[in-house]
Amino acid sequence: MEHADSHLLLQVIDEMLQYYRDDEAKLQERLLWLSIFLERTETMQLEEKQQVKERLDAFEQLFEESEFVQKQRALGVAEGIARGKAEGITEGIAEGKVLALQEVLVDLVKVLYPSQVEFAKSSVSQARSEEVLHQYISLMMKAPDETTAHFILDAMRAA
């Protein structure tokens, strides 16, 4: 598109309309490629590109009906669904680990300091990170008495 200007490209569009008047599928394809090339070119002034783009926008319905556009859209949707599932699975696994560690901490308190179980249940629900829960489990295992255990649980609640 080195020496192309808006006048030339508008003429090309008119000639394509004439040439492909009996073959809408080919017209769709050719206009779509022209649109793609127009977007990518850096040899035309922005104002001239805008004039041609406005003319191409009139054929938007043709683009929407294009088999190529429909395939690309379907691929994008499929890719989005696959990516969403993968992210959902990853988030689900992480959430499951957090819930398991919360249960471990409550069970540990239940064994070591039974009178603190209800306080532990409400405190543990505040922790949403595996790393933090591992740290609190470690601290709880080292707690020398019930007062220290209560202090640890209170700190978890405040964090």
Read off the pLDDT band of 2 (50, 70, 90): low
Question: In the chain, where do the E strands start and end?
Answer: none
Amino acid at 84: G
pLDDT at 136 > cutoff 70: yes
Q: Can you tell me whether residue 41 is helix, strand or coil?
A: coil
What pLDDT, in 10s, does the model give residues 110-120? Answer: 999 999 999 99
Q: Which of 1 and 70 is assigned the larger pLDDT?
A: 70
Report, as an integer, the average pLDDT of 100-125: 93
Q: How far apart are CA 128 and CA 124, in angstroms?
A: 9
What pLDDT, in 10s, does the model give residues 32-58? Answer: 888 888 888 888 888 888 888 888 887
User: What is the Rg, in whole angstroms, of the alpha carbon atoms belonging to the chain?
Assistant: 32
